[in-house]
Structure 1
Amino acid sequence: MFGSLGSFVYRMRYTVIAVLIALMGGLGLYGMDLPKHLSQSGWFDPNSESVAGSIVADAALGRDHKSDVILLVSPPDGTLVDDDAFNKKMQKIVDDLLAEYPDVVSREVDATHAGLISPFDAITNSADQAAADLKRERMWTADRKHGFISIGVAGNDDTTILNNYKKIEPFFDDLAGRYDLPGTQFELAGLQPIAGAMSRGMDADIHRAEIIALPVVALMLLFVFGGVVAAILPVFIGGLTIAGSLGITKLIAQTTELNIFAQSVITLIGLGIAIDYGLFMVSRFREELAEGYTVKAAVRRSVMTSGQTIVFSATIIVAALACLLMFPQAFLKSVAFGAIASVALAALLSVTVLPAILAILGRRVDALSVPFLKRTRTREEIEAGFWGKLATWVMKHPLKTAIPTVLLLLALIIPFGNIAFGGLSEKLLPPDNANRVAQEHFDKLFPTERTEELKLIVVYSQDDPDPAGKIQAIADAANKIPGFTKKFSPDASDGGSDGVYGDPETGLGVTQMSAGLVNRNTAAEAIKELRAIDDQGLRVYVAGTPALTQDSIDSLMARLPFMAILLVAVTGLLMFLAFGSIILPIKAALMTALGLGSTLGILTWIFIDGNGASIANFTPGPLFAAILVLIIAIIYGLSTDYEIFLLSRMVEARQNGASTTEAIRTGTAHTGGIITAAAAILVVVTGAFGLSDIVMMKYIAYGMIAALVLDATVIRMLLVPSVMKLLGDDCWWSPRWMQRLQQKIGLGETTLSDEPDQKEHTRYDQATVSSGGVVAAAEAPTTAMKSIRVETTKRRGPATPEPASVESTLDELIDDAPKATPVDTARKSSGPDTGSWRLGAGGVRMASQDLRPRPPQPRPTTGGQQPRQAQPQGAVSQPQPVISKPQPAVRPPLPRRPQQQPAAPARAAGPQRPTPQAPPPPPQAQPPQAPPAPAPQTQAPAAPQGPPHVQPTPDVVEDPAGTRSARQLRPDRGDEGNQISVQELLRRSRASRSDQD
């Protein structure tokens, strides 16, 4: 599938780029006004008792607007709020506000207006004196140094009310200067100013991420890739992802309510994930080019490997985010929709548009490179680098690495025991925010008028003989509960009731009583006690902001265990279908749980215990519960994402014949730098949100930073290799029935064989030395070996050979060969090397791995449980894994040419088709030599049939010229051993020519 996709993208690269870029551009233009279609609602559980009570009260008594906007007034020293001159100027301010915004603010309360309450109104007759005295008693302090005006804003939903507030907000700028009130302090408190400050903070966060994060990320990518062109590509994909996500989110907002917080998450998740995916794809493409593949092959192979991993990773993250849909809060659903759209688009663009651009650029992807930064490395160089050495060291000391790492993570989890949950409040704003300061000042001056009150909503039948007595009994029982700023009372004149309503059609009456809490932290206990009082046979709701918050926390905590089970089950199932192992998903879940627990412990230590609060400019307090759930989903998805990239490379190496130890080292070496760079990029993006004024964004940013640092370094690079080393081959285990299920479904990792016919040059040059009919062909050792740079010579003609030149050329070949490398213990444990030296006719030739016969196209295989293969003697630590590629075949020897035939150039590397001849009789004499030690014999599976022109080479190679007998193969003895064998072959060749002469 992905091979076809890669070929299609390469073939239709210009069309793919034009169509998808135009589509993303159109979606971006369509979604430019997305904030206008987002809601301020969705923070609470719509199925809770508090929401039901609020709906009943709003329908009967109208929405409570008295806390929408609070204008707190503090006259200068020597002036009191009841001074006549000051009162007249305050009346002027109120009159101008009503005149300029008649559609938003009004004194009357009706279906479209919320009403304005001012203690500064003039008293025109004695009948208004009692009401005016009551308002002044509530809205002026006892020392008459402070007062406030309650301004209700028109609207029946949070979004409309906030938008209307933004219309009148400029009116309150510089009131003291405009109305000649020097020294008078005006402060804006209330629900809408707080919501407006949060909205502005989120907009600033998005702007900061786009202005600051993008250039910094581009600079980091320049250091990663070493070139400007390669660095720009992931950032370009990130920009397209954000543009498309905004348009898709706006389309979703047309059918369902989406919270305004979704836009910030789109920028955070979409930008970070898209850049990470772009990084993985560009890195793999450059790696394939470094291996010598053509641009077409590199694009196809990159999509078949990294492209498939990207899509699978995106599926895991989407599955994790989809778990948020099981919660009733529209806030979490909004974030899920926006983030899912971002991740899906990031994956789509990374496997289509980005490969198409790479196909056009080709090797120009390294254009505008910085010389001292350019570093396109081959696979062998990568495995010999820092991350490969680190993995080797870790696997040499698995217990010494795993135990301290686990203890460190467990220690970081300990602060999580102090976790506490809260809701939305002005505490989410910075301590120096003007609206937060005003709200705290108002709560201190007027504790009985706090904007966050608990409400008792009583519904009774008008046919009840004594509803007033029952309501009073409920109020008396509620007043026995300590911790309230005033008494619950059904009498509106006491300030404890918001009104009484009777519906003649239904025969029901509604009474609402309210009181504020002295300490918000006691809300849970107070709500529990209120709901436990005798309802006197009436329907009683406990509502208000504290009840809304507590009910939301309870619903989140009730569903959180089910979310965790669903996360583990879904991601575990997908990982099993991909890798065919039941151990790997379990290990991944445990590792992710350790990382997630450590992250939550760090968040608790920072935001609840208050460590670093002064530096980060926030006030310690309870974590917003909904944000906690969001953090769990995001971090779990990202952690599993990095696990997928790491395990994919391990499985790829495993399927190519590596032992478990080799696979761990190879996977860690190839992904260590990329995962670290990807995590660093996400840290930069989230770090821009960490500078936010909104504590909710700090929660997410700091949580992601902590999780990324722990996951990409401590867990993936230390804990995973050590644990997998301790597990050994059990990493790949699963029951047989699960193996059959996985193989039947066919989901797995793509494993590519080498494609020498798709390379622009071979990595190992063919070395040919004329020696009068002796051919030595060396298969590439399984251990890493540097390229032997020997000038290729043409096959000599029938002229009399020149022993001196032959000797010189062969000595040059021997002297220039690389020195023996240390034995790879991981490979040694998997069995002996398969390289050997063979005899034939026509010259001395070293045949590398690129000379092995290969099918014209790669044969992808799917991962799964691999059956054990028979182990050769001496293989103790690891069983030899199944090699999915055919056993390498050595080029058959060519027949000797007649003396008069002119010299022909050497043929290209590849399988020959010799003319079979009858085997010759054995020679009369053999050069004296020590008998070679018998090689251990192992039973290997039969090599699969290749294309028609490929003839498998048997272990005994016959001499087609009939001049000498076939000789038994010897196992590869390393570089030194092979050099001695060449010298022996030279002596034998000369002796053979002497015998023939």
Structure 2
Amino acid sequence: MFNKWGSAAYRFRKVIPLAILAIILAIYGIFGTKLDERLSQEGWDDPGSASTQAAKIEQEMFGRDSSGDVILMFEGLDRETEIKAYLDTLQSEHPDEIKQVVSYFDNHQELMRNGDTAFAAVALKGDGEQTLKDYRKIKPDLEFEGMEVAGATAVADALDEGMAGDIHRAEIYALPAVGLLLLLVFGSIVAALMPLLVGILSILGSIGVLSVLAGFTQVNVFALSVVTLLGLGLAIDYGLFMVSRFREELDRGQAVPDAVRITTATAGKTVVFSAAMVAVALSGLFVFPQAFLKSVAYGAISAVGLAALLSITLLPAIFGLLGKRIDVGTIRKTRRDARRIQDTWWYRVPAWSMRHAKALTVAIVIALLALTVPLFGIKFGGINETYLPPNNEVRQAQAHFDETWPTLRTDPIKLVIAGADNAELAQVYQQANQVTGLADRFKPVHPTKDGVTVLAAGISNRDDNGSVVKQLRAIDAPEGVEVYIGGTPAMEVESIEALFHRLPWMALYIVVATFILMSLVFGSLILPAKAVIMTILGMGATLGVLTAMFVDGVGAELFNFSPGPLMSPVLVLIMAIVYGLSTDYEVFLVSRMVEARDNGATTDEAINYGTARTGGIITAAALIMIVVCGAFGFSEIVMMKYIAFGMIAALLFDATIIRMMLVPAVMHLLREDNWWAPKWVKKASAALGHNQVVVAQPGRSGRPATGNNELVPFNELINRLQHED
């Protein structure tokens, strides 16, 4: 199948690039440019949870609770007249955005004053996404000497700006840095541009696809950063593997049409299955109810799929057009023909690992398990101002407000009570105020309407959210009375509960699906089992490192973030990404081993050959991905740092001790068992074109020496590689 695809790509090499470029630019131009206005700030909650139901009832009955939208704090009450005039002007100049301004300087309620500081609460008119749009219209006028700006919408805007900065940073710093790395790897300007071209087009296309999806379903703004990070990194990696294999085939003396076909049938097939496994890992996010996770999955899967599609369509066609001119613009002579593979670092390390297989396996497994230990101390929370840098003005203002007026926190716990008369309401009210951990007693948010009452109270410490919700659930409501626990604290608790309820199903789905896919790629049942176990070990170590950093605070000052509880959806997301990346590199490495094995190599020869031929490229790919992640590691948003550093840690583990040392050691110990599979698995693998690559024996002209094409025996292939110079 992939042989035919490669031949078709060469045959239509003049049409394919123009068609793909036109389609990508059209998708981006028509849809992608509208993405910003379609993205959502919402989607963190479980739609079927009690907190969501409580919010729905409150909004339908009383409208959106806008009391905590924007908080303006003023110091120096001797300027009362000046402050009042400013607030009056702000409201009069924005009648379409501001619903009301409740201010100490109007009502002189002592509740809104603390010493020499007082505040005004600005309620915005818009609902849903319009709330943030309204805030951004009044934001330029939120300038007054000594004034601090806080509130839920102000925090949301600061988080959104931080995410927008991530994309800009990737464009300004990551792409040029990646370009330089590719130039060092390939030594040729033209060859280096190929992976970059795939990366840029993949991002443009996936932005367009994301915009289309946003027209039908809720797409969280955070999805754009994840799509850019994952899509750009993997697209460049896939391009790197394709270019490397094409140049390798040219070096062997293959004619350009054969080099294109073989590249597509080998590296191209591997790219497709690798992308499929990343997509499968990401599709596990659909198990969870939060729209945030679903939107990230939509975007990331489209980016990965597009990267793979471009790699097996656009690149083979361009290879056919360029031929040996792919080395045009050479700035240094690469040494890909200068040494025997036995003399390379990538051959010697796995050879050493196999000589010390038992001791090395035990040592590495113990080390990875030790790095996993911090994971047992992980804590979960919700998104709030602490996800911003400690020196962020909005975060500092929100912390100041919460400390000065703890009973008026903008994220209170709520009770929505329906169907209660006064006596029943008093019974619920009395039980609610016996709950420990509250900053103050419950108070009505709105006057009772149609039998619905909303009570709210602040929680003294966010760490007590779970305890408070648990106590409130124990309220013995009178018969016929419905009590819904709502507010941000309840939403966070229920989000964590959804995580632990659905996580086993996600894990089972991902493991089974990737096991089946790898069985088809490798034609073995043992190799996929080994891959899954190693991926889990690596992921555990990665999550342990992340917990030590972002929960326990290792490196917090250096990287400018505050340690604390993590959002449960973000943990699920990083698990899917790390699992996908790990299996991605596993496929590239083991596929070359299987290829060598099916050409007559022994197990140890196949291990050495596969690692030697892919070690340098996998390392370069990991380094490029780390550079891309590094740009996002400087994000102002903690959860983006979490994902970026998680990917960096996973890549470091994968590209070094796991792929170069643990994989060769374990495969050496398994010996012939590595390749075992029932006959039906072998047949299914063969039906997908597995190990049916026809490699032409080149003559002096670079074309087949005879009219027959045949598989190159492994021993002859190794002999050629040893004497290429």
TM-score bin, normalised by smaller chain:
over 0.9
Partner residue in 1 for 2:485: 542
C-alpha distance in 2, partners of 1:345/1:739?
29
Structure 1 residues 374-419: Cα deviation after superposition (integer angstroms, max 9, x where no partner): 23338x8335421112221111121132121111111101111111
Shift of 1:739: 4.8
> 1:615 and 1:258, CA in 2 relative to 1: closer, same or farther beyond 3 A?
same
Aligned to 1:138: 111
Matched, 1:476 2:449: no
Q: Conserved in 1, the CA contact under 8 Å of 2:258 and 2:695?
A: no
Task: Say if 1:656 and 1:751, in contact at 8 Å, map to a contact too.
Answer: no
Cα distance in structure 2, aligned partners of 1:557 and 1:712: 30
Counterparts of 1:608 and 1:598 in 2: how far apart (Å)? 15
**1:865: which partner in 2?**
none
Per-residue deviation, residues 537-572 of structure 1 (Å, max 9, x unmatched): 210011111001111111012101110111100000
Select 1:502's aligned residue among 424, 449, 471.
449
d(CA) in 2 for partners of 1:760 and 1:715?
42
Identity %: 47
Quick one: which of 357, 361, 377 aligns to 2:337?
Answer: 377
The aligned residue for residue 104 of structure 2 is: 119
TM (normalized to structure 1)? 0.70
> Does 1:749 find its partner at 2:678?
no
State how far apart, in whole Å, the 1-side matches of 2:320 and 2:74 are: 67
Could you say which residue in structure 2 is the equivalent of 1:630? Answer: 573
The separation in 2 between residues aligned to 1:417 and 1:440, in whole angstroms, is: 29
1:33 Cα deviation from its structure 2 partner: 2.8
Residue in 1 that maps onto 2:194: 233
The answer as to 2:604 corresponding to 1:661 is yes
In 1, distance between residues paired with 2:14 and 2:574?
39
Does 2:667 align with 1:711?
A: no
- Say if 1:736 and 1:227 are closer, same or farther in 2 by CA, change over 3 A: closer
Q: Corresponding residue for 1:295?
A: 256
Measure the CA separation in 1 of the matches of 2:688 and 2:506. Answer: 25
1:750 Cα deviation from its structure 2 partner:
2.9
Amino acid at match of 1:9: A
Q: Aligned to 1:353, what secondary structure does the other structure show?
A: helix
Q: What residue ranges of structure 1 are gaps of 5+ in the alignment?
A: 76-80, 107-114, 122-131, 177-184, 462-466, 489-495, 504-508, 763-849, 861-882, 889-997
Corresponding position of 1:150: 121
SS of equivalent to 2:419: strand
Shift of 1:317: 0.9
Return the letter of the residue paired with 1:139: M
**CA–CA distance in structure 2, aligned partners of residues 535 and 394 of structure 1:** 65
Question: Do 2:150 and 2:397's aligned partners in 1 also have CA atoms closer than 8 Å?
Answer: yes
How far is the alpha carbon of 1:168 from its aligned partner? 0.3
Q: Deviations over 1:152-194 (max 9, x none)?
A: 111121x110011000000012x22xxxxxxxx1000001110
In the alignment, the residues of structure 2 paired with residue 284 and residue 695 of structure 1 have an alpha-carbon distance, to the nearest angstrom, of 38
Which amino acid in 2 is paired with 1:102? P
Structure 2 partner of 1:408: 367
Q: For 1:20 and 1:754, locate their aligned partners in 2 and report how far apart those are by CA, in whole Å.
A: 28
Matches of 1:25 and 1:58, distance apart in 2: 42
Secondary structure, counterpart of 1:632 in structure 2? helix
Identify which range, 92-101 or 237-246, moves more after superposition. Answer: 92-101
Count of residues in Structure 1 that have an aligned counterpart in Structure 2: 716
Amino acid at match of 1:747: L
Displacement after TM superposition at 1:370 (Å)? 2.1
- Tell me, in whole angstroms, the C-alpha distance in 2 between the residues paired with 1:715 and 1:230: 29
How far is the alpha carbon of 1:577 from its aligned partner? 1.9
Q: 1:351 is paired with a residue of what secondary structure? A: helix
Identify the residue that residue 439 of structure 2 maps to in structure 1: 485
Work out whether residues 346 and 616 of structure 2, in 8 Å CA contact, stay in contact via their aligned partners in 1.
Answer: yes
- Report Cα offsets for 1:644-687 as digits up to 9, x if no partner: 01110011000001011111111111111111110000000000
Report SS of the residue matched to 1:152.
Answer: strand
Secondary structure of 1:33's partner? helix
In structure 1, the partner of 2:40 is 39
**1:515 equivalent in alignment to 2:457:** yes
The one-letter amino acid paired with 2:455 is M
Inter-partner Cα distance in structure 2 for 1:206 and 1:230? 26
CA distance in 2, matches of 1:711, 1:757: 36
| Cα distance in 2 for residues equivalent to 1:657 and 1:753 | 15
Structure 2 residue 667 is the aligned partner of structure 1 residue 724 = yes
Distance 1:317-1:153 versus aligned 2 partners, 3 A rule? same
Q: Distance in 1 between matches of 2:520 and 2:416?
A: 54
Q: String of CA shifts for 1:829-880, please: whole Å, max 9, x gaps.
A: xxxxxxxxxxxxxxxxxxxxx98xx6634579xxxxxxxxxxxxxxxxxxxx
Q: What is the SS of the residue equivalent to 2:71?
A: strand
Alignment-derived partner of residue 58 in structure 1? 59
Partner of 2:370: helix, strand, or coil? Answer: helix
Aligned to 1:649, which of 589, 592, 595?
A: 592
Which secondary structure does the structure 2 equivalent of 1:618 belong to? coil
- Structure 2 CA distance for aligned equivalents of residues 754 and 436 of structure 1: 61
How far 1:736 sits from its partner (Å)? Answer: 5.0
Q: Distance in 2 between matches of 1:716 and 1:316?
A: 17
Matches within 5 A, 1:758-769: 760-761=701-702
Q: CA deviation at 1:485?
A: 1.1
- The amino acid of 2:103's aligned partner reads S
Counterpart CA distance in 2 for 1:330 and 1:627 is: 13
Ranges in structure 2 where 5+ consecutive residues have no aligned partner: 718-725
Matches within 5 A, 1:926-965: none
Rounded to whole Å, the distance in 2 between the matches of 1:302 and 1:750 is 13
Which residue in the other structure is 2:50 paired with? 49
Highest Rg: 1 or 2? 1
Deviation at 1:116, TM superposition (A): 2.0
Q: Which has the higher helix share?
A: 2
User: Match of 1:863?
Assistant: none
Distance 1:534 1:760 in 2: 88
User: Which of 97, 100, 105 is 2:90 aligned to?
Assistant: 97
Distance in 1 between the 2:6 and 2:680 partners?
Answer: 33
Aligned-partner residue type, residue 414 of structure 1: V
Q: Aligned partners of 2:299, 2:337: CA distance in 1, in Å?
A: 38
Match of 1:73 in 2: 74
Quick check: 1:646–1:667 contact (8 Å CA) kept in 2?
yes
SS of the equivalent of 2:254 reads coil
Aligned partner of 1:153: which letter? L
Cα drift, residue 89 of structure 1: 1.3
Distance (whole Å) between structure 1 residues aligned to residue 111 and residue 342 of structure 2: 75
Measure the CA separation in 2 of the matches of 1:240 and 1:299: 21
1-structure distance, mates of 2:306, 2:701: 34
Measured in 2, the distance between the counterparts of 1:754 and 1:54 equals 64
Give the secondary-structure state (helix, strand or coil) at the position aligned to 2:446.
strand
1:675 maps to what in 2?
618
Shift of 1:753: 4.7
Q: Which one of the candidate residues 528, 531, 549 is aligned to 1:588?
A: 531
Counterpart-to-counterpart distance in 1, 2:701 and 2:288: 55
> Using a 3 Å threshold, how does the CA distance of structure 1 residues 643 and 720 change in structure 2: closer, same or farther?
same
Please report how far the alpha carbon of residue 421 of structure 1 lies from its aligned counterpart in structure 2 after TM superposition.
0.8
The residue matched to 1:151 in structure 2 has which SS?
Answer: strand
- Cα distance in 2 between the residues matched to 1:483 and 1:756: 77
Q: Which residue of 1 aligns with 2:708?
A: 856
Matching of residues 785-864 of structure 1 within 5 Å: 856-857=708-709
Deviations 1:773-817 (A, max 9, x none): xxxxxxxxxxxxxxxxxxxxxxxxxxxxxxxxxxxxxxxxxxxxx
**Which amino acid in 1 is paired with 2:380?**
F
Aligned match of 2:274:
313
Give the 5 Å matches for 1:565-580.
565-580=508-523
Counterpart in 2 of 1:964?
Answer: none
When residues 298 and 697 of structure 1 are mapped into structure 2, their CA distance, relative to the original with a 3 A threshold, is: same
Secondary structure of the structure 2 residue equivalent to 1:658: coil
Q: How many Å separate the matches in 2 of 1:655 and 1:735?
A: 16
| Aligned position for 1:87 | 80
Structure 1 counterpart of 2:721: none
User: Which stretch of the first structure deviates more once superposed, 472-481 or 659-668?
Assistant: 472-481
Relative to structure 1, the CA distance from residue 605 to residue 884 in structure 2 (aligned partners, 3 Å threshold; closer, same or farther) is: closer
Q: What's the counterpart of residue 14 of structure 2?
A: 14
Provide the residue aligned with 1:323 in structure 2. 284
> 2 CA distance for matches of 1:228 and 1:728?
42
Per-residue deviation, 1:515: 0.5
Counterpart Cα distance in 1 of 2:711 and 2:603: 22
The answer for the alignment partner of 1:215 in structure 2 is 176
Q: CA RMSD in A?
A: 2.0
Q: Is the 8 A contact 1:294 1:758 kept in 2?
A: no
Partners of 1:334 and 1:702 lie apart in 2 by: 22
Q: Check whether the contact 1:752–1:858 (CA below 8 A) recurs between aligned residues.
A: no
